[in-house]
Structure 1
Amino acid sequence: MTRGTVTAADELDRPDVVAEVRAAFDRYERALRDADVAVLTELFWDDDRCVRYGVADRQQGGAQIAAWRRANPGVPAGRTLSGTTVLALGSDAAVVSTRFGYPDGAREGRQTQTWARLGGAWRIVAAHVSEVPC
């Protein structure tokens, strides 16, 4: 699809958007490791349409996500990431996909987050986390 001289392909992976979302994702990961509930809550969209599917749980809406996070503030020590990708979809949306693991190596985690620029700030609007045995 062409709009003037900009094609749809030109809107994918804009370096400025990739960098902004990667910085927001890295902030989320630090907060997850540090059990920083305030930042974890801030980075999820506070809206009833926001969804988070966890390994053995699910939340619908900002209030449920915040309540779950207060009860489950962080992750086990030693979490590592691999294969992290940021796919920017224009200037206001992106998808982050990553794999994660822990020192015991018993399972491979997979995490996908959809980020949107809302009110000038990047927020997670949908998240999915799963684990499979290694």
Structure 2
Amino acid sequence: MKDMTPNIPEVVEEVRELFERYEQALIDKNVDVLDATFWNSPHAIRLANYEHGYGFDRIHAHRVARPPGPGTKEKRHRLDIVTVGRDVATVTLVYKVRDRDMVGRQTQTWVRFPDIGWKVVMAHVSMIDKEPTL
């Protein structure tokens, strides 16, 4: 049976660095990094407020069309990284939405593949009207 130990410190840190790299790529509109972060598969999913990205090609098309800049994130409320063993992780971010009285929520599921490394296989972004209870 594989090791299912939660939150091995070096695995958490590895995922955190990849997440921060992805967040910076969003600001810079670095499509190469954004694409490299996601699993290049028709099974990859990214759901957002105005996007249903089923499959890598649809996710990529959204990336190309998206303007550069800080996007919707103004201030982070909470960032949680949970790993299971050495090959599965979730990242959840709750943040203040820029220029709106709303809270954003972002969730990513990461998998470490033996041949291509860590990739986001599923992501979801949504907003709510009130401050979160954290």
In 2, distance between residues paired with 1:32 and 1:26? Answer: 10
Q: 2:95 aligns with which of 100, 105, 108?
A: 100
Structure 2 match to 1:23:
17
Report how far residue 37 of structure 1 moved. Answer: 1.4
Q: Give yes or no for contact 2:3–2:85 (8 Å, CA) kept in 1.
A: no
Q: CA deviation at 1:112?
A: 0.3
Aligned to 1:84: 79
Q: Which has the larger radius of gyration?
A: 1
In the TM superposition, what whole-angstrom CA distance separates every residue of 1:75-95 from its partner, at most 9, and x where no partner exists? 437633221010001111100
User: For residues 48 and 73 of structure 2, what CA distance do their matches in structure 1 show?
Assistant: 19
Instruction: Classify the secondary structure of the residue corresponding to 1:48.
Output: coil
1:72 aligns with 2:66: yes
What does residue 58 of structure 1 align with? Answer: 52
Q: Distance in 2 between matches of 1:56 and 1:7?
A: 38
**TM-score if structure 2 supplies the norm length?**
0.86
SS of the residue aligned with 1:13? coil
Structure 2 unpaired stretches of 5+: none
Match of 1:123 among 114, 119, 128: 119
Does the 8 Å contact 2:77/2:94 carry over to 1? yes
Is 1:33 aligned to residue 27 of structure 2?
yes
Count of aligned pairs between the two proteins: 128
Tell me the TM-score normalized by structure 1: 0.86
